[in-house]
């Protein structure tokens, strides 16, 4: 018995010695998923720019300075000015706030609603699941941009309506992915045991099934943020999204992508780079998150 107790103590000491700090875990994840770490770095920089925009930006994003119209990049205006004399660097920094607000709002609302609908559809099954899936098929038959255009044409322009227009197409896509995972969980014995104990449907769905589909949910959530940023920029470029004078990357492209492509290319280049980096960062982070949470990929 003494030998057994000593071995147990030694194993516990080894387990404690193997515990890692947050910094060590972050370094391990960085070495294992370097592209995901780079994507997360881009996301963190965007968040910092959005939160501290009023401190980091050198000028007022909505103030016109007609004496400085279309000024090329120099020491005073690092990225140049647009056709109204507004500093492009300032508007890009404030545009990160608009992009992240729309992106996270659409991704969180669409993913959460899709999560609840997908789990409920898988849990109840039968006719409810059949009707629900046919409705989802109708929504998924339209591409994201087409569905967003249809919705925004009904509700009108503006930040709030853009969020609604982008969120609606996200719901069926998240619900379909979550449902496929919830179907397997529904057959696990502990769900039958919860029913036998008399738990309500709401408690079984929220307490026993939903936590077990969080891996695909988080992957979809991270992917939706980048898609929402790109959709918001597309709608704003078409004049159906965020309206002037709100700083938004799509609006900056709308004002300079075509008319000043040759005479003042910086008006369109810098907003385009900002959109590309934002979508690129969230996609890289989402891919790394998928690799880390998917057990099949972890075993390879």
Domain hosting residue 233, numbered range: 29-54+81-298
- For residues 216-226, b (16+ Cβ closer than 10 Å) or e, as one string? bbbbbbbbbbb
The tokens of 87 are what? 């500093």
- Is 11 contained in some domain? no
- The whole-number pLDDT of residue 7 equals 47
Number of domains present in the structure of the chain: 1
- Is 234 contained in some domain? yes
CA–CA distance, 39 with 228 (Å, rounded to integer): 16
- Is 171 contained in some domain? yes
- Is 243 contained in some domain? yes
Residues near 281 by beta carbon (within 8 Å), at least 6 away in sequence: 38, 39, 40, 41, 42, 43, 46, 226
Q: Assess whether pLDDT exceeds 90 at residue 281.
A: yes
Q: Assess whether pLDDT exceeds 80 at residue 125.
A: yes
Q: Assess whether pLDDT exceeds 70 at residue 151.
A: yes
- The whole-number pLDDT of residue 255 equals 65
Question: What are the residues facing 81 on neighbouring strands?
Answer: 87
- Is 113 contained in some domain? yes
Q: What is the pTM of this model?
A: 0.85
CA–CA distance, 7 with 195 (Å, rounded to integer): 42
- Is 5 contained in some domain? no
- Is 23 contained in some domain? no
What CATH number is attached to the domain comprising 220? 1.10.3720.10
CA–CA distance, 297 with 300 (Å, rounded to integer): 5
3-state secondary structure of 188: coil
- The whole-number pLDDT of residue 29 equals 73
CA-based nearest residue to 146, from 173, 132, 120, 165: 165
Is the bond preceding residue 192 a cis peptide, omega within 30 degrees?
Answer: no
CA–CA distance, 167 with 182 (Å, rounded to integer): 22
What average pLDDT does the structure give for the chain?
A: 84
3-state secondary structure of 186: helix
CA-based nearest residue to 170, from 140, 150, 146: 140
- Is 267 contained in some domain? yes
């Amino acid at each position: 018995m003494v030998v057994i107790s000593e071995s147990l103590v030694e194993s516990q000491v080894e387990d404690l010695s193997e515990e890692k700090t947050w910094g060590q875990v972050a370094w391990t994840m960085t070495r294992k998923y370097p592209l995901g770490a780079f994507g997360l770095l881009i996301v963190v920089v965007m968040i910092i720019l959005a939160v501290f925009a009023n401190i980091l930006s050198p000028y007022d994003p909505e103030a016109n300075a007609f004496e400085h119209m279309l000024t090329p990049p120099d020491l005073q205006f690092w990225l140049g000015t647009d056709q109204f004399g507004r500093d492009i660097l300032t508007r890009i920094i404030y545009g990160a706030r608009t992009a992240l607000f729309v992106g996270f709002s659409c991704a969180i609302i669409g993913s959460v609603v899709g999560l609840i609908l997908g789990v409920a559809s898988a849990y109840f099954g039968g006719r409810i699941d059949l009707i629900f899936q046919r409705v989802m098929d109708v929504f998924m038959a339209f591409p994201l941009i087409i569905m967003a255009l249809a919705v925004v044409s009904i509700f009108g322009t503006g930040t709030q309506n853009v969020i609604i227009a982008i969120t609606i197409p996200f719901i069926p896509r998240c619900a379909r992915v979550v449902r496929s995972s919830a179907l397997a969980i529904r057959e696990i014995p502990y769900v039958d045991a919860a029913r036998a104990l008399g738990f309500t449907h709401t408690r079984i769905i929220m307490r026993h099934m939903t936590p077990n589909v969080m891996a695909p949910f988080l992957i979809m959530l991270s992917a939706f943020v980048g898609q929402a940023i790109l959709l918001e920029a597309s709608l704003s470029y078409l004049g159906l999204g965020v309206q002037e004078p709100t700083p938004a990357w799509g609006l900056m492209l709308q004002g300079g992508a075509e008319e000043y492509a040759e005479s003042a290319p910086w008006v369109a280049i810098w907003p385009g780079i900002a959109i590309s980096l934002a979508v690129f960062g969230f996609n890289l982070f989402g891919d790394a998150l998928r690799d880390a949470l998917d057990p099949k990929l972890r075993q390879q």
